Amino acid sequence: MTYLFTLYALGCALALVAGIIEQRRHHRHLHSIPRRIVVNGIRGKSSITRLCAGALRSGGLVTVAKTTGTAARFITPDGHEEPVYRKFGLANLVEQIGIVRRAAAHRPDALVIECMAVLPDLQEVNERKLIQSTICVICNVREDHLTEMGPTLPDVARSLSRSMPTGGICVTAERNQLHILRAEAARRGTTLIPVDPESVTDEEIRRFPYIAFKENVAIALAVADLAGIDRATAFTGMIAAKPDPGTVTVHTYQAGPRRIAFANIFAANDPASTLMNVDLLVDHDLISAPLNIVINCRPDRIERNGQMGELTGLLIPERIILIGEQTRSAKVAVPARLVDRVCDIGGSLNFPALLDALVTDANGCGALVAIGNIHGQGEVLLGRMHDLPTAMPPSIPQRVPPVACATTAHQPAQLDRAWRSGSLGHPESGRLPSEVPRPLSVPRPTPDPSHNDMARRHHFRNA
């Protein structure tokens, strides 16, 4: 017995010594990188990581970056990308140690790294033990990962704040939860720098060869400014940076007699981000009527399925196609006036049935927007769409100037507060907050359904 206890104690001592040696080696690698930028938030982390890295590279800084999102990538100082190997394909926070070691080998001036932790405790471990950032980015606070970080948006904001560096700098484009971030920054002695998305002009956004968000660009410009890089130089680097695989794009495919403009926005899998992405596609004249929405449902995301079904009340598509598992969870959330537009083809994807369900105009043209979550039948859908022959995009008629209404993507907080306070009935049912278990934290239309239809349909008007 004494012999076994001695072996156990010796093993523990060796493990302790090995851990101390590993920790000191990691800190040596970490502190050899003078600028360490952690990008956290709910949506757009990978894109912001790439934009920041591009801006810093353009400014003459040797910069290494690592993304975690749609496809985890290690980006070298010359912009070359290498996949991040994961045993059994599973992400683990410990991989950050190997990334720092790999980055230090390039002797960089800056490391831009996406936060891969979701649980609040792990976000703090990522900051305090693994990265010790000099600049933290909290891009936004959205309604996602509520089980781990919620249940409310202020709770999500507090959870994300655990990645703030004590005595460091935090850059954010968040507006609705800014007061929470300010309070958390004050507790940590962190300098909070809010950025204004409108400081980025439409002309500057149009310079990007892909769809870019003003919020993301404004954050990257602020990070570049903190590094002493001027705006013009930063823009040159951002435009040259390779976009993330999850970046919103629109491809036109020929499916028999139909010509379909297909937009994959699975990456924006919370309601507010999804609505913002669709509005962006409309504003860039990349999609037009008739609009078809495909919602990929997951059995472990029942609440999210329902949120996407309810979101169709703001998008008002001509066809709502449900794929994946537990599609009923989305179907029951579709507003009553749109139920006759639902086509439920759950289970293994029946791609011919999906194509047959699409609504097109007299010329066989239409738009198909994929929302929800990519995993499962969503990945199958993307593969089948990409197998179709490509086609020239249809000409989109000039849109009528937008009607001023409460459905723009810039007023969620005000409308939510009115709805929650009881002064505004639910836009679909007229019920008060006490009668509805969980509202969407996305922009809500005015109570008059006919006005809502008119206001949203100005985006998708036929010639």
Tens-digit pLDDT string for the chain (463 aa): 787 778 888 888 888 887 788 888 888 998 899 999 999 998 888 899 999 999 999 999 999 999 986 678 999 999 898 888 877 667 778 888 889 999 999 999 999 999 988 888 889 998 988 999 999 999 999 877 777 887 888 999 999 999 999 999 999 999 999 999 999 999 999 999 999 999 999 899 888 888 888 999 999 999 999 999 999 999 999 999 988 776 777 889 998 889 999 988 887 777 888 888 888 888 777 888 899 999 999 888 888 889 899 999 998 999 999 999 989 999 999 999 999 999 999 888 999 999 999 999 988 899 999 998 888 888 899 889 989 998 876 655 544 443 333 333 333 343 343 333 333 333 333 333 333 333 333 333 333 333 333 333 334 433 3
Cβ(54)–Cβ(101) below 8 Å: no
Q: What is the pLDDT of residue 276?
A: 83
pTM (two decimals):
0.70
Give the domains, in start order, of the chain with CATH numbers: 28-240 (3.40.1190.10), 248-463 (3.90.190.20)
Tokens of 275: 């609505």
Write down the H helix ranges in 89-152.
95-104, 120-125, 146-149
The predicted structure's pLDDT at residue 304 = 85
* Pairing of β 135-138 and β 35-40: parallel
Query: Which residue from 137, 292, 98 is spatially nearest to 223, judged by alpha carbons?
Result: 137
Contact 192/213 with Cβ under 8 angstroms?
Answer: no
Task: Using DSSP, state whether 325 is helix, strand or coil.
Answer: coil
| Dihedral sign computed on CA atoms, order 277, 327, 420, 184 | negative
Q: Which of 344, 286, 302 is nearest to 319 (CA)?
A: 344
Yes or no: say if 111 and 105 are a contact pair by the CB < 8 Å rule.
no
Neighbours of 248 (CB within 10 A): 24
